[in-house]
Structure 1
Amino acid sequence: MKKLLFILLSWPLLQSCMPLPSGGYGNSSDTNSGNGSQYPSQQTPAPSGSGRSADPNISVEDIRLSGQYTVLYVSFINNNSARRDQSGRVVDDGSQEIAFHPSARLVGANGAREFRFVKAEGIPVEPQRKKTYAGTRTNFVVYFERLDPGIESFDLFECNDYDHLTCWNVYGLYVKNPSSAQVPTQQVPNQSPNYPSQTPSIPAPTNQPNTPTKKPKSGKVGEVDTTPQQQSTEPSSVLVVGIVRDAKTNRPISATIDFTVSGSNKKIDSTQSFASTGIYRMNLKQGQVYTYVAHAKGYLAANDFIDLSKSVVNNKLTKDILLNPIQVGDKITLKNIYFEVSKSDLLPASFAELNKLVSMMDENQNLEIRLEGHTDIVGDPEANQELSEERVINCKEYLIKKGISANRIQAVGYGSTKPIIKKGTDEERKVNRRVEFVILKL
């Protein structure tokens, strides 16, 4: 009993002498989980919106915004186990190669905005690779272009079906990123893991309203006025002008251009270009990034973005738009259609591309199409056939929900039977995995 009492009274002292597990990120942080683990402390809650990973061994531990970058802090655990033969010899040590692909991008605003990969720390960029060992964790940092103000939910896309190595796709990421033009250059959770020394530098604030400014006061030159200067918070307006033209003939087109604030699904305004000149005009408030969709009868809809988050010379910006004509028999690839890896679930990042098709079909009421789904030649042919059919059916259902009659849409899956490239690397064969539509009637 006395021994038990002694142990209980001594336990806090014994705890204070025990080594604590170290957390955080480093440029090379493979560590054995049973010895010197660098797992983040379990008492540290996950940051807001850590997302849903395509690979269960991947987690986004934190997200930070700087003036220039969107920074993701990622962890990968090699959960493989070594395999031995009957004599006890190791036939597979459980090692796994990892790398990050430079074509990776962040997709926000339901696919209307993409942000390119910039650099990585702690993980090689393809074609270089890094070996990880069974039971180890690798922590690394990836930098992308900065999200537009207002885009708070986004996805990371790095791989497609049957791609090489580990797939770093993570869906439903979240970071606090207000739409106001007066936003901080960095958003940091209250609690987060320790970070590497390469955290992007944050510029010091430039507005210092309490700094004395030299200004004549009461007619006496040279006196310093210490009264804070009142600054208008109302953003100025920018005149956006341009010409809408036929991409083949260069002739002017009468088109409708719908504008949306990046990060919002709500259309804020529309304008029409003149049929005789193709000229359009639109006044937009400065301090925001805008996306738009231009559509006209007989043409493919086109979308792009206008960045007014920075100062514009003379409060005027020129943005010309080219539209591609369509005709019966044309086959068009839907370039930004995203599904769960090796599944048919349509992801929200596809909505902007499908909405362009909705706009085109609304503008051309007699238009009928055939959606065609294709997979790569890798994998089981029957499974590929089923996957392609389910994917185009989901695309068709999306169009129907947007008000397009089912009678105007056919859906066919071809699986791996019509590849564009039959040989080549995984990267070269990505073009095989596609959704297309064919103009049947116009």
Structure 2
Amino acid sequence: MECFGKNYAMAHRLRYVTSAVEHQSSKSQVYAHPIIFGLLVFFLVLFPLYLSAQILGNELTTSSSKARKAYLNAEKFFSELNFSDAEKQLQRALKYDPSFIEAWLLLGEMKNEQGAALEAIAAYQYAIGIDSMFFPPVFGILGKVQLDEGFFAQASSNLKVYYSLPDLRPEVRAQLKQLIEKADFAENLVKNPYDIRMVNISSAINTVEDEYVNSLRLDGSFMLLTRKFKGEDENVFIESFFTSSLNDSIWSQSLPFEVPWKSRGNMGALTFSPDGKTLYFAGCGWHEGFGSCDLYSSKLEKGSWSDPVNMGKTVNTNSWDSQPTITPDGKELYFVSNRSGGYGGSDIWKVMLLEDNQWSKPINLGAKVNTSGNEMSPFIHPDGKTLYFSSDKLPGLGGSDLFVSRLDKAARWSKPENLGVPVNSIDDEMNLIVDASGMKAYISSNKISGFGGYDIFTFTLPDEFRPEAVSYVKAVITDAISSQSLEADFKLILLSNNEIIATGKSSLEDGSLLAVLISGNDYALHIQKEGYLFHSENFSLKEYSQSEPFLLDIRLQPVERGSKVVLKNVFFELNKAEILSESTEELLMITQFLKKNADLIVELGGHTDSTGPEALNEDLSFKRAEAVKKFFIKQGIDSDRVLIRGFGSKIPIADNITEEGRALNRRTELNVIGFK
């Protein structure tokens, strides 16, 4: 075959290649090493056509006996992995004959083996410059090295030269096509970078060691990170975990993240639930584990992290299971595993929390997201449908790139989008965290000037990669009289179907609670604590998108005469007394409150805005209070415990000029008036 090179004088050293490719059995003779396992290692897999081509001639291209002798010595040293002496002999050969093609080819391969890619590229280019068709596969070798080093345009050009040659096997041509497409795709990314400014997050967090961002609380005020540093043995790295808080836009000095059970064994891939009260992580080599690494969870209870719980054999396997990320409602957990049944090395899977509070069998995210390579470091945004992750197989710049995929209404993942330059590079980018607003992203990088090693940077995420902006409610629960922080039960409800989205307790330390609110929905928040009157809030995001949080100071009133509360999630038909279905969950909650406080006597007061005749307003307000009383009676509450009044528009709590004010004035109140 003429395209192989009519006088490839090293061809006699290729006689071992065919058997190596076809039988994968014995090693080659000493002089075959640099060609079989060196220069042509890439083409043993991709381009076997040329390796089994007709062997032509046994003479080297040099006429210099001194060059030939030095070259043969270089081959011997190379086969012994003695690169230093091999290079000396090659340089001597090239001194005697600068046009000695085989010497340039071997020098290129040796430099490639040593990781000196730029010198390897130069050597291959010298060989091509002497005789481009002496050994055509060098175009493929050169193109692959250039592709790995980020010289995408040059890589594409050289790969296309090789692709254009006749008699390539179909599978070889297909593989070349993939490489060319990868080079062209990467070149397009490089030519169209995003205007992104990476900002080092803080010297209070970043050090001369390596820092990696793990998790960010929903309100963006608390960060969990990993710090990696050398131990006493410099070949052993130690990972420790730290936290930092954001106060007045300044990150506090990072502090060790301590758990009372750290002696249990190695742990990693730590992440918080959005409210920061549940910790998910991988425990590796733990005695009760099912595989090399298992998924565990721990809850923050009374200021301390509870003993971790293995997520069970339904979730964990005898393989590697790690890198968890949880949806804001705590009902879906995404993670990475190299278990059987996937598409490649490591895939992204998810489990769902069932009605019996057990996790479902793991579900693979499918071929849209997972590939024959490795998908890693998933992060599910608080919107519950935007997934960021890394992949070393999807089209990118090299190594592992970061991607985004979105879940549509039919529960299908979209084709992943590469986050482009400068977020991605020819190196490995492994993880990305995006805040609730969807605008600010956090990444770990060593490519930007920092304090040393990998630092954590933040940047504004381009519009096309942003998730749906979410809001959140952040409340502090206190005693209305003493102002003491209270640990109270809360429940967040989706009003469209009365689905319970989140439950939990406010913090014992400061009375705080945190819950996500997704645009396009209306929510009810119920707060209860024994000995106190219940409290409810309404968040209406159905008609508009809001990313600004709801910050509330909620003061619970002790159950005593005169305490009262607005029923903010009791709704009626327009100008009628028919209760809407969205009111059901709140009315049931009040029913339970009345049953627990069986000696309580309450008054329901109906109120309207000032629109329309006052006589009609008083009648409507009375009938609405009466409708609520009838609901309670149907649920088993004694009629004589619930009094009703209709106040019309006589007791406004806001103006009657704006729609917002009128909406506040239209309300039903519950007032404690006595005890039986």
Calculate the TM-score normalised by the size of structure 2.
Answer: 0.25
Calculate the TM-score normalised by the size of structure 1.
Answer: 0.36
The structure where helix makes up a greater share of residues is 2
